[in-house]
Structure 1
Amino acid sequence: MQVFVDADACPAVIKDMLFRAAQRTRMTVTLVANQYLRTPPSPFIKSIQVPAGFDAADARIVELVTSGDLVITADIPLAAAVLDKAAHALDPRGNWFTRENIQERLTMRDVSDQLRSAGIDTGGPAPFSTRDSKAFAGQLDRFLARHGTARRETNE
């Protein structure tokens, strides 16, 4: 199992949690972005810089992700593509994208896009908070407890 991060808009506190988890569990965390990313030196932490362009990072993540991997993203269409590949998708606020909720989230995203293009202010998401980072940490820890052990054992 690997972790891929849609890193352009991922909060620094979430990246730091993932860096610590990579070291602790010896799993690979790969950040994908269209800009240079500074990462701590580690054999378990990688970064991929993709060319600037609409959804270039998303396309690279979809290309690399395999069944069982974890993708950290707030991008709903990317999460849908990840789920189609039998991988897991978690947003930086600690909310899971699932087969049960992805269609509703895509629909709500489309409605919000239509409202914005009609000139209606939809307000956008709330600012990222300490509560969000704690929710993410809890979900990540539970996920790694369930899924991370098999990979660690095969690498030791």
Structure 2
Amino acid sequence: MHIYVDADACPVKDEVYKVAMRHEVPVHVVANSFMRVPAHRLLTRITVPEGPDVADDWIAERADAQSIVITSDILLAQRCIEKGARVLSPKGKAFTENSIGQQVATRAIMEDLRGMGEQTSGPAAFKPADRSNFLSALEVELQKLKRGR
């Protein structure tokens, strides 16, 4: 089992570290700039070169059915789901085979609207309840993976 964190704008890295250490699961924190990661044998910082989707590509190439990916990037989520990985947003929402198609379509529509000059609101602000939801969701996904071994 492995946890991959799309780390550049992830607000729940500390929570991932705590849960992963409790479960003895390796974590790969992937970013295209230096990021401080606690010194621990289970935690690895991966700094990829600058460029569009380089961190996403690194994660997607390694994700598999024994992985949990933490990201808010819908296209990365889709790629990882296709490889059998479990994917969570930092707010604790699970991306699934059943939901990802609609989320990708909505993303494309919003991108088209922005391209036409429409003002869109963007994602809702991160709240304390989101942190709690994420912790619960990560715990559930780790338990599912452990039972599936």
Q: Which residue of 2 aligns with 1:128?
A: 126
Question: Which is further off, 85-94 or 137-146?
Answer: 137-146
Q: By how many angstroms is 1:66 displaced?
A: 2.0
Q: Is the CA contact (8 Å cut-off) linking 2:27 and 2:43 kept in structure 1?
A: yes
Q: Which residue of 2 aligns with 1:74?
A: 72
**Take 2:128 and 2:90, find their aligned partners in 1: how far apart are those partners?**
11
- Specify every segment of 5 or more residues in structure 1 that has no aligned partner in the other structure, as ranges: 152-156
Q: Secondary structure at the match of 1:132?
A: helix
Q: Secondary structure at the match of 1:101?
A: helix
Q: Is the CA contact (8 Å cut-off) linking 1:27 and 1:148 kept in structure 2?
A: no
Following superposition of structure 1 onto structure 2, how do residues 5-154 of structure 1 map, counting pairs within 5 Å?
Answer: 5-11=5-11, 14-148=12-146
Q: Secondary structure at the match of 1:107?
A: helix
Q: Which amino acid letter does the alignment assign opposite residue 96 of structure 1?
A: A
Alpha-carbon deviations, 1:97-137, whole Å to 9, x = none? Answer: 11101100000000000011111111101111101111101
Q: Is the CA contact (8 Å cut-off) linking 2:78 and 2:100 kept in structure 1?
A: yes
Question: Which is further off, 133-142 or 106-115?
Answer: 133-142
Q: Is the CA contact (8 Å cut-off) linking 1:6 and 1:73 kept in structure 2?
A: yes
Q: By how many angstroms is 1:146 displaced?
A: 2.4
**Take 1:112 and 1:125, find their aligned partners in 2: how far apart are those partners?**
11
Q: Secondary structure at the match of 2:56?
A: helix
Alpha-carbon deviations, 1:51-73, whole Å to 9, x = none? Answer: 01001100000112122210000
Task: Say if 2:4 is the partner of 1:4.
Answer: yes
Q: Which amino acid letter does the alignment assign opposite residue 91 of structure 1?
A: S
> Structure 1 runs of 4+ off > 4 angstroms?
none
Distance 1:107 1:140, change over 3 A: same
Report sequence identity in percent.
38
- Specify every segment of 5 or more residues in structure 2 that has no aligned partner in the other structure, as ranges: none
Q: By how many angstroms is 1:150 displaced?
A: 7.2
- Count of residue correspondences: 149
Q: Which amino acid letter does the alignment assign opposite residue 8 of structure 1?
A: D
**Take 2:24 and 2:48, find their aligned partners in 1: how far apart are those partners?**
25
Return the TM-score normalized by structure 2. 0.95
Return the TM-score normalized by structure 1. 0.91
Q: By how many angstroms is 1:31 displaced?
A: 0.5
